[in-house]
């Protein structure tokens, strides 16, 4: 069993169903909505997994004074880049070339390690003896992609490259096994080529050979598209023979042709009527995108029989494969390892994030790919108090219990069912104001196994996050008025804490309503839990994954007085020194989940 | 491809409308024909006018989500639903070394494999909000990872199975409308998109899906008949599990764990995808003796490749298993790996009468769907069979179904009545004499759906010169459409079909406006019949038009997905 370190997750207020546009399904939600307010948040409900985030994932909008989670920010893309070669990709390329790196960045299809281009050593032939020749041209001849992690090489799927650069373009022309294929562009050009057209005309005259042509997906799509476009365009342009001119837009030849058709009538109109009435026929030839299915798969089955389990690719390997447009519909034949292809790296983006309400930017990375810095990043960690959890051992009061105490305080130790355990929650205030924290927790955790929870001190204040040096200077100076007094007080408190550390059983009694410890900008309080017993009765559903973890939903309500219109943190500090003329009361409330530990089964 | 017929002109269309007002076409034509569409070719290039507007196409399946832009031949990204996806953000346990050791706990309570599914069609007691959440997260992943788009609102086109229940659809729409703010969402049914993706107007779509197999007949871009069977991918994986469990050493697995699954779902589905295959139809009527067919295949193989001979001789496959009590390697005869497929899809050891309506073997399902169709529709559909869905990847399965159905057709014809009595009637020379007379008289009287009756009808109508028929015939191209023979064709897939449809600017019957949805929800949808979709009724061909987005959405529908 994995050791569980205590954790905190915060539920972004955006996932409250009431704030989401329309109250969802009318018949189902009326009941739940009625007691929306009294409802305690159940961290174990499957839905809550989607709204809980660690503090590090959350951002904060300074203007709306609200937490923003990845679900409730609107994103803008700063840069597209390849994570392998770190080259920036212009957004226009993205549309035309797809979402993968088109240079020479590939992932191994077996182990997703990065592939390197290496030249294939020529077989031991006479040239090996003629060493000088070899050194003269060390990187010649065919190249292959090789994985340095699992030693896979593209020669295994019969693919070699002539040049060591622009592998992507070369790969697009190669089928597995080494045979070449035409890319879409080439095919378009080929179609324009009059010689090819003539060839086409003769071959279609032969008839049946054309019917069995295997189209790869890309070609089939292109053919179908052309076919449909042709069919849809038919009534107006096909009869005049001016289709090409019509493409130019609102050019006069088309209108001319229309006028012509109005006055000529006769045969022309007839043809028009014909094409319009025939609506749209279906595709009849491979040229038009029709493709017959090859249902005889005995060859593939025989290969499967021969290759066995090892010759097939796992599901994860197949999922990683990009859609292979260069092949016909594989229908399961892509299962073999020999059908896998190197995976071009997916491009990535750098994104700036805005608050969806006030449109202020709350996170903006540097545009340059190589830098990891941010221009703006308002992380929630610097606005809302962080909660650290630590097991607290009180059993040290019993003289010989030293060992057991240490055992209990060991992080990740199992909690004994039905035996009270204590945890220290340390709230650390990141902002420069004193905050008032109010906690609410259900007396019993929701779920099948209800553990009892008591927050011994649910209301307390945490001092402001003043500058450490500020404080130190004030302490050292020991002059001045109220500020130094406060600092001194804090210093004493801290010293007190160290004392406690040295003599753990300093008569530190658990008192309801009392803060356990307090520091410059932090406060520790105690939570007592009585873990439920996980015994299952006969006929109960077995224990589900993570159901033995003791999780406490905790409603945190934070209040502070902030600068009225101030949108800068530094300003607010200055204002505090001034005495704060325009103060405004602010509050923030959210659910969070404290994972305390596993209960012994 | 085309501009609206006399609809409220969009700003950029106005030039076209000036040039050729909607009525212009009528001057030189007999009044009954469709009005001339102004200058469709000027909108031929998708890039010129609407370069900035990308329409996102999403295909929803039970196990995966495919996303891409319209006009692309294939989806850019595919997101599978799985338990990893349902974890909290920042939960990295999947990377721990001992991860998934306790899959039994996760699979407890009949959840084996359920967390790999987006939804169950049985919505009783299911958490619809959860479905919405799953979709949202999957889409978000797809957008950031594969599409690389920002969160500006974009129009969406969804490819949705036509049997999707309204509560599910509504939950998903809720989630997407509120989270992604698309201005409109259009719904396309997947059989239809498949037909478009194959280039045909009529088709029999055999969707070998995960939850169930759905056979839908599409005729002239309309869904006619749908039949379903619960024999799908899930059944196949369960049968594979049964096979594995059978071959595992009994002593250790069964007594110690009372649970019904001995191998994890992930591993089992992996093995299914890799190794399970389907035997070809045995030629003889003595149902399940397969030696005959296989012997011939072996001979063929020997000629081709010498290297595989020794593998084939022992005929066994070694399958590593990690999620069992102890990691082991299971040795199975290769033939055994065809059993799950046999049991899951055909169950040929039972008589056809023993199946319930919801669990028909696939070949019977296809046959009965065809049988239920009117004759002319059947003629078209049977020669345009499209296999799709995850299980069409099982080697040999498509061919097997096709052969079985062909065999059924050859054996029984299109006679819905069968059984001993019919056999007797056929074989009995006395009664046979009586048969033609009966049929003939019946046909004359009623012109019923019976095959012979229709045939007579058709014979009767031939002499009449039908002007419309005449025109149609002239309109049709030289090659007559193939009909009446069994034929399977390949489709690009529902996603690609939808991409084509959208790229060609054909409108969907069900287009939902965000504002209207947020106001009314599914309750605001009217029945498909009540909505004036004059433009759609002309089908893709004549009426593939964009609707002017102004006044049209006051009355909207969910199309074949129904109304509340």
CB atoms within 10 A of CB B464: 7
pLDDT of residue B374: 92
Chain A CB contacts of B219 under 8 Å are: none
- Report the gap between the CA of A18 and the closest CA in chain B (Å): 11
Q: Do residue B41 and residue A47 have CB atoms under 8 angstroms apart? A: no
pLDDT at B91 over 70: yes
ipTM over 0.90: no
pLDDT band per the 50, 70, 90 thresholds, residue A477: low
Q: What is the pLDDT of residues A370-393, one digit of tens each?
A: 888 999 999 999 999 999 998 887
Nearest to B542 by CA among A273, A251, A248: A273
pLDDT of residue A261: 55
Chain B touched by A161 (CB under 8 Å): no
Chain B CB contacts of A58 under 8 Å are: none
**B230-241: average pLDDT:** 92
pLDDT of residue A428: 92
In chain B, which residue's Cα lies nearest the Cα of A327?
B492
Look-up: residue for tokens 């788009």?
A: B149
pLDDT band per the 50, 70, 90 thresholds, residue B256: very low
Q: Which of these ranges, A220-234, B30-44, B184-198, has the smallest mean pLDDT?
A: B30-44
Taking only Cα atoms into account, the Rg of chain A, rounded to an integer number of angstroms, comes to 35
Q: What is the mean pLDDT of chain B?
A: 75
Q: First CA to last CA across chain B, in angstroms?
A: 34
Chain A touched by B150 (CB under 8 Å): yes
CB burial of residue A29 (10 Å; 0-12, 13-18, 19+): middle
Q: Do residue B140 and residue A71 have CB atoms under 8 angstroms apart? A: yes
- Report the gap between the CA of A19 and the closest CA in chain B (Å): 10
pLDDT of residue A246: 35
Q: What is the pLDDT of residues A10-59, one digit of tens each?
A: 998 887 654 444 444 444 444 444 444 456 788 888 888 888 999 999 99
Look-up: residue for tokens 């803060």?
A: A515
Tokens representing residue B205 in the block = 């779509």
Nearest to B206 by CA among B228, B237, B235: B228
Q: State which H helix or E strand residue A357 sits in.
A: none
Q: What is the three-class DSSP state of A111? A: coil
Chain B CB contacts of A243 under 8 Å are: 41
pLDDT at A245 over 70: no
Question: What DSSP line would sit under B159-217, residue for residue?
Answer: EE-TT--HHHHHHHHHHHHHHH--SEEEEEEHHHHHHHHHT-SSEEEEEE-SS-EEEEE
**A549-554: average pLDDT:** 90
Q: Which bin fits A187, alpha (ψ -120 to 50), beta or left (φ > 0)?
A: alpha
pLDDT band per the 50, 70, 90 thresholds, residue A509: low
Nearest to B203 by CA among B473, B492, B453, B417: B492
CB atoms within 10 A of CB B530: 10
Chain B CB contacts of A73 under 8 Å are: 151
Q: What is the pLDDT of residues A555-597, one digit of tens each?
A: 999 999 877 654 444 444 444 454 545 678 888 999 999 998 8
Contact B177, B517 (CB under 8 A): yes
Contact A21, A62 (CB under 8 A): no
pLDDT of residue B228: 92
In chain A, which residue's Cα lies nearest the Cα of B169?
A25
pLDDT of residue B511: 87
- Write a three-state SS string for B404-472: HHHHHHHHHCCCCCCCHHHHHHHHCHHHHHHHHHHHHHHHHHHCCCCHHHHHHHHHHHCCCCCHHHHHH
pLDDT of residue B387: 92
pLDDT at B23 over 70: no
Compute the distance between CA of residue A566 and CA of residue A570 in angstroms, rounded to an integer: 9
Chain B touched by A295 (CB under 8 Å): yes
- Report the gap between the CA of A366 and the closest CA in chain B (Å): 17
For B489, which of A52, A293, A351 is closest by C-beta distance? A293
**B378-402: average pLDDT:** 90
- Report the gap between the CA of A24 and the closest CA in chain B (Å): 7
Q: For residues B61 and A28, which has the higher predicted lDDT (pLDDT)? A: B61
- Report the gap between the CA of A451 and the closest CA in chain B (Å): 21
Contact A74, A353 (CB under 8 A): yes
Chain B CB contacts of A229 under 8 Å are: 1, 44, 504
What backbone phi and psi angles, to 5 degrees, belong to B371?
Answer: -65, -35
- Of the CA atoms within 13 Å of residue B387, those in its CB half-sphere come to 27
Best mutation target among A89, A258, A316 (most B Cβ atoms within 10 Å) is: A258
Nearest to A530 by CA among A404, A411, A443, A405: A443
Structural domains in chain B?
A: 11-49 (no CATH), 56-81+117-199+492-561 (3.30.420.40), 420-487 (no CATH)
In chain B, which residue's Cα lies nearest the Cα of A237?
B41
Chain A touched by B296 (CB under 8 Å): no
- Report the gap between the CA of B87 and the closest CA in chain A (Å): 6
Chain B touched by A31 (CB under 8 Å): no
- Of the CA atoms within 13 Å of residue B471, those in its CB half-sphere come to 13
Q: How many contacts (CB atoms, under 8 Å) link A and B? A: 346
Q: State which H helix or E strand residue A458 sits in.
A: none
Nearest to B491 by CA among B146, B79, B74, B67: B74
- Measured at the CA of B149, the angle between CA B146 and CA B151, to 5 degrees, comes to 130
**B465-489: average pLDDT:** 70
């Amino acid at each position: 069993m994995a050791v569980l370190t205590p954790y905190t997750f915060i539920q972004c207020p955006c996932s409250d169903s009431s704030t989401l546009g329309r109250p969802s399904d009318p018949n189902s939600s009326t009941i739940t909505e009625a007691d929306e307010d009294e409802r305690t948040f159940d961290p174990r409900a499957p839905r809550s997994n989607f709204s809980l985030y660690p503090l590090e994932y959350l951002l904060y909008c300074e203007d709306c004074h609200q937490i923003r989670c990845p679900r409730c920010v609107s994103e803008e893309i700063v840069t597209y880049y390849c994570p392998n070669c770190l080259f920036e990709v212009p957004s226009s390329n993205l549309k035309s070339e797809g979402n993968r790196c088109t240079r020479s960045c590939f992932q191994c299809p077996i182990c997703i390690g990065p592939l390197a281009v290496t030249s294939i050593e020529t077989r031991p032939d006479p040239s090996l003896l003629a060493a000088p020749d070899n050194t003269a041209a060390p990187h010649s001849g065919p190249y292959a992609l090789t994985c340095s992690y699992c030693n896979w090489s593209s020669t295994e799927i019969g693919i070699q490259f002539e040049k060591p650069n622009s592998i992507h373009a070369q790969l697009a022309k190669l089928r597995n096994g080494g045979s070449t294929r035409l890319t879409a562009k080439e095919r378009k050009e080929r179609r324009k080529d009059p010689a090819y057209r003539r060839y086409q005309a003769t071959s279609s005259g032969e008839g049946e050979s054309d019917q069995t042509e295997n189209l790869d997906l890309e070609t089939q799509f292109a053919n179908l598209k052309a076919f449909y476009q042709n069919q849809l365009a038919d009534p107006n342009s096909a009869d005049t023979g001016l289709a090409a001119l019509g493409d130019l837009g609102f050019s006069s030849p088309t209108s001319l042709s229309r006028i012509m058709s109005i006055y000529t009538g006769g045969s022309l109109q007839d043809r028009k009527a014909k094409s319009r009435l025939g609506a749209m026929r279906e595709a009849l030839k491979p040229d038009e995108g029709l493709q017959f299915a090859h249902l005889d798969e005995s060859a593939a089955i025989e290969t499967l029989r021969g290759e066995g389990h090892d010759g097939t690719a796992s599901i994860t390997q197949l999922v990683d494969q990009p859609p292979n447009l260069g092949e016909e519909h594989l229908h399961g034949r892509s299962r073999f390892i020999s059908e896998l292809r190197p995976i071009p790296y997916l491009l990535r983006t750098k994104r700036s994030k805005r608050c969806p309400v006030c449109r202020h930017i709350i996170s903006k990375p540097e545009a340059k790919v190589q830098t990891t810095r941010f221009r703006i990043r308002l992380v929630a960690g610097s606005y809302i108090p962080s909660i650290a959890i630590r097991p607290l051992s009180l059993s040290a009061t019993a003289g010989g219990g030293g060992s057991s105490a240490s055992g209990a305080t060991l992080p990740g130790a199992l909690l004994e069912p039905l035996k009270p355990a204590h945890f220290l929650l340390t709230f650390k205030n990141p902002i420069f104001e004193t905050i008032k924290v109010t906690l609410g927790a259900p007396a019993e955790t929701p779920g099948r196994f209800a553990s009892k929870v008591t927050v011994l001190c649910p209301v307390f204040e945490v001092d402001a996050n003043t500058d450490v040096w500020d404080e130190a200077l004030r302490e050292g100076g020991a002059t001045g008025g109220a500020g130094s007094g406060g600092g001194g007080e804090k210093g004493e408190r801290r010293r007190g804490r160290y004392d406690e550390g040295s003599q753990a059983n300093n008569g530190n009694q658990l008192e309801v309503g009392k803060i356990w410890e307090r520091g410059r900008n932090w406060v520790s309080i105690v939570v007592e839990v009585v873990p439920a017993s996980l015994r299952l009765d006969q006929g109960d559903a077995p224990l589900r994954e993570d159901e033995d973890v003791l999780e406490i939903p905790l409603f945190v309500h934070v209040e502070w007085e902030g600068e009225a219109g101030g949108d800068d943190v530094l300003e607010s500090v200055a204002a505090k020194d001034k005495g704060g003329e325009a103060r405004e009361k602010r509050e923030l409330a959210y659910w969070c989940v404290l994972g305390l530990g596993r209960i012994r089964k | 491809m085309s501009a609206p017929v006399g609809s409220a002109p969009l700003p950029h269309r106005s030039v076209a409308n000036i040039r050729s007002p909607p009525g212009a076409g009528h001057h030189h034509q007999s009044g009954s024909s469709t009005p001339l569409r102004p200058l469709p070719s000027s909108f031929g290039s998708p890039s010129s006018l609407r370069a900035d507007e990308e329409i996102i196409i999403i295909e929803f399946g039970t196990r995966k989500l495919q996303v891409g832009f319209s006009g692309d031949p294939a989806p850019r990204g595919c997101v599978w639903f799985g338990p990893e996806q349902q974890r909290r953000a920042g939960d990295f346990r999947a990377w721990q070394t001992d991860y998934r050791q306790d899959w039994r706990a996760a699979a407890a309570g009949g959840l084996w494999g359920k967390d790999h599914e987006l939804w169950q069609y049985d919505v009783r007691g299911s958490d619809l909000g959860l479905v919405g959440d799953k979709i949202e997260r999957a889409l978000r992943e797809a957008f950031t990872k594969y599409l690389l788009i920002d969160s500006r609102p974009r129009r969406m086109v969804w490819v949705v199975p036509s049997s999707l229940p309204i509560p599910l659809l509504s939950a998903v729409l809720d989630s997407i409308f509120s989270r992604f703010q698309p201005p409109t969402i259009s719904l396309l049914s997947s059989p239809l998109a498949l037909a478009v993706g194959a280039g045909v107007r009529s088709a029999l779509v055999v969707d070998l899906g995960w939850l169930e197999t759905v056979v839908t007949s599409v005729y002239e871009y309309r869904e006619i008949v749908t039949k379903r069977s619960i024999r799908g991918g899930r059944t196949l994986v369960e049968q594979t599990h049964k096979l594995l469990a059978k071959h595992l050493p009994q002593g250790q697995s069964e007594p110690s764990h009372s649970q019904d699954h001995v191998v994890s779902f992930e591993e089992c589905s992996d093995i299914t995808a890799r190794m399970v295959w389907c035997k070809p139809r045995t030629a003889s009527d003595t149902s399940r003796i397969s030696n005959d067919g296989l012997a011939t295949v072996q001979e063929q193989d020997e000629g081709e490749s010498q290297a595989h001979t020794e593998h084939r001789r022992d005929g066994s496959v070694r399958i590593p298993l990690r999620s069992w009590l102890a990691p082991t390697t299971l040795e199975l005869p290769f033939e055994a790996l065809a059993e799950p497929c046999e049991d899951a899809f055909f169950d040929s050891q039972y008589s056809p009468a023993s199946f319930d309506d919801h669990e028909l073997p696939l070949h019977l399902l296809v046959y009965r769907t065809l049988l239920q169709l009117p004759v002319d529709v059947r003629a078209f559909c049977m020669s345009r069979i499209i296999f799709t869905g995850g299980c069409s990847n099982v080697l040999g399965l498509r061919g097997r179904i096709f052969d079985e159905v062909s065999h059924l057709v050859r054996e029984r014809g299109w006679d819905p009545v069968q059984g001993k009595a019919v056999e007797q009637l056929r074989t009995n020379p006395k009664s046979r004499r009586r048969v033609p007379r009966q049929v003939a008289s019946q046909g004359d009287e009623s012109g019923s759906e019976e095959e012979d009756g229709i045939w007579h009808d058709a014979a009767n109508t031939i002499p009449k010169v039908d002007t419309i028929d005449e025109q149609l015939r002239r309109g049709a191209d030289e090659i007559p459409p193939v009909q009446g023979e069994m034929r399977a064709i390949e489709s690009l897939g529902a996603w690609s079909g939808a991409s084509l449809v959208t790229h060609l600017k054909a409108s969907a019957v069900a287009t939902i406006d965000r504002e209207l949805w947020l106001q009314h929800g599914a309750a605001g949808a009217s029945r498909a019949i009540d909505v004036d979709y004059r433009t759609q009724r002309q089908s893709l061909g004549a009426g593939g038009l964009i609707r002017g987005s102004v006044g049209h959405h006051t009355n909207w529908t969910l199309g074949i997905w129904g109304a509340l």
